[in-house]
Chains A and B, each alone.
Chain A
Amino acid sequence: MHRLQWEEAQQKDVILYPEGMVELNQSSAEILKLCDGSRTPIQIITELEEKFSTSGLTNDVNSFLEDALQNGWIQQA
């Protein structure tokens, strides 16, 4: 029902759904791109921390994933 897509005109990733659109900031988009059904939340966090050479992302990522689940952007596998 939701489609994640790069919008050239906006230079942004967006989520598209029936008659609506959410513009994503870069970090939200990075998280969502990893939600492809093949990774656990822990793997997503590890991968992001490696990619951006940082640590302590657990709380932020988890709370975003909860919101995303609530909004129906992702589903629990």
Chain B
Amino acid sequence: MAGSNKLKITPPRWLLAELTYKCPLQCPYCSNPVDYAKHSSEIGTEDWKRVLTQARKMGAVQLGFSGGEPLTRQDLPELVQHARQLGYYSNLITSGYGLTEEKIIQLKEAGLDHIQISIQASTQELNDHLAGTESYQTKKEVAHLVKKHGYPMVLCVVIHRENIHQMPEILAMAEELGADYLELANTQYYGWAHKNRDLLMPTKEQFEEAEAIAQAYKEKVAGKMKIYYVIPDFHEDRPKACMNGWGTTFLTIAPDGVALPCHSARDLPGLDCPNVTEHSIEEIWNESKAFNFFRGNEWMKEPCSSCDEKEKDFGGCRCQAYMLTGDMYKTDPVCSKSPDRHVIHEALDSARESALSADEQPLIFRNSKNSKKYS
């Protein structure tokens, strides 16, 4: 299981600081764990500062302040300032909800480099429905303020069956708001999105149409707005190179201080993910069981272990393999070489059936009440 001793461990480059699971929004595709309600404790300001210092020393340079909604942490400006002094490039990944002009200025002075705002849809009605909170107008105002104060602005829109038909309007909205980058993130089916998969997964035809529209727009706005397109892996025949390889690049710290090789890894059994209140980042990264679990490729089973593409995609995503096959060592079933590929076809068929059915089921929103049911 644990990687071989000869394996060279590369230092972390990307630190995702999930400051809190608290969020005023209730998006039904949230990537936070569905049982987040039982992980409600939060580490303190000094803990976070120590984590930032230790990870920076090892070589982490990109830093994401995320959550939940990171703005709910009152110590955010203090953490941003600490990060800037250490030389991080800090990204605030926010819903925009609760971001005032005063706060935008305060964070700028503290040294924040960039703000990413999520918008759920191109219309108020759908945005507010998906967010579970009236937030559309605020988000648009915040987007303008972010630009006004000289930040690079990334607009992130998670794409799924409820909003995929709005692709032309979403693109126009991003351009109108002056986004420097537009991230069109096809929903990844983890956490809450997994629960709502039948209701969120677009059909192949919808994907293809939306992608063609986005690609054409990419050329239209070249040099002005960059468009990132996060691929819908269920429609691919090779898995994503998840996290650029386990324990090679990415380090996530959850609100309660648990260190994770990817933000879904706390769902995997037997990893014993370490906590930053008990161990240094260096110990966690180099020595912990969790971070060594899927390092390298000795853990692989067939067809991965003899596959000539194993260095390219690392067998895909461990969390997806576990979620869809019950075995975290298996090939990500997205791969056409996987003997479990049928579960992907079944998921797509089931979603298509739901899309064509007149009998509409309600979405399960991400909120404490629902989370307690899964805890």
Contacts and interface: CB of A to CB of B under 8 A. Distances in A.
Find the residue from A3, A18, A19 having the highest chain B CB count within 10 A: A18
Nearest to B153: A18
Contacts of B181: 18
A9 interface: yes
B180 A21 contact: no
A51 B284 CA distance: 44
Nearest to B183: A19
Given A1-B152, A7-B59, A16-B89, A21 B64 contact: no
B59 A9 contact: yes
Contacts of B13: 21
B343 interface: no
Contacts, number: 44
Given A3-B113, A9-B11, A19 B58 contact: no
Contact of B91 (A3, A9, A10, A19): A19
A16 B152 CA distance: 12
Given A18-B114, A18-B181, A19-B64, A5 B87 contact: yes
Contacts of B292: none
A68 to B, nearest CB: 13
B61 interface: yes
A45 interface: no
Contacts of B113: 3, 16, 18
A20 interface: yes
Contact of B61 (A1, A14, A18, A70): A14
A10 B181 CA distance: 27
A70 to B, nearest CB: 8
A21 B113 CA distance: 13
A18 B180 contact: yes
Given A1-B180, A3-B89, A19 B61 contact: no
Nearest to A9: B59
Interface size class of B (residues with CB under 8 A): 10 to 19
Interface string A23-65: 0000000000000000000000000000000000000000000
A21 B61 contact: yes
Interface in B60-84: 61-62, 64
Interface string B1-45: 000000000010100000000000000000000000000000000
Interface class of chain A by DSSP: strand
B62 A20 contact: yes
Contacts of A14: 61
B59 A10 contact: yes
Contact of A17 (B59, B87, B116, B152): B152
B94 to A, nearest CB: 13
Given A18-B116, A18-B181, A21-B13, A7 B61 contact: yes
B154 interface: yes
B58 A18 contact: no
A5 B59 CA distance: 13
B152 A18 contact: yes
Nearest to A20: B62
A14 B60 CA distance: 12
A19 B180 contact: no
A7 B61 CA distance: 8
Given A5-B61, A9-B59, A18-B114, 14 more contacts: A3-B89, A3-B113, A5-B87, A7-B59, A16-B62, A16-B113, A17-B89, A18-B113, A18-B152, A19-B64, A19-B114, A19-B116, A21-B61, A21-B62
Interface of A: 1, 3, 5, 7, 9-10, 14, 16-21, 70
Interface of B: 11, 13, 57-59, 61-62, 64, 87, 89, 91, 113-114, 116, 152, 154, 180-181, 223
Closest 8 CB pairs of A and B: A9-B59, A16-B89, A1-B152, A18-B114, A18-B152, A18-B154, A19-B91, A9-B11
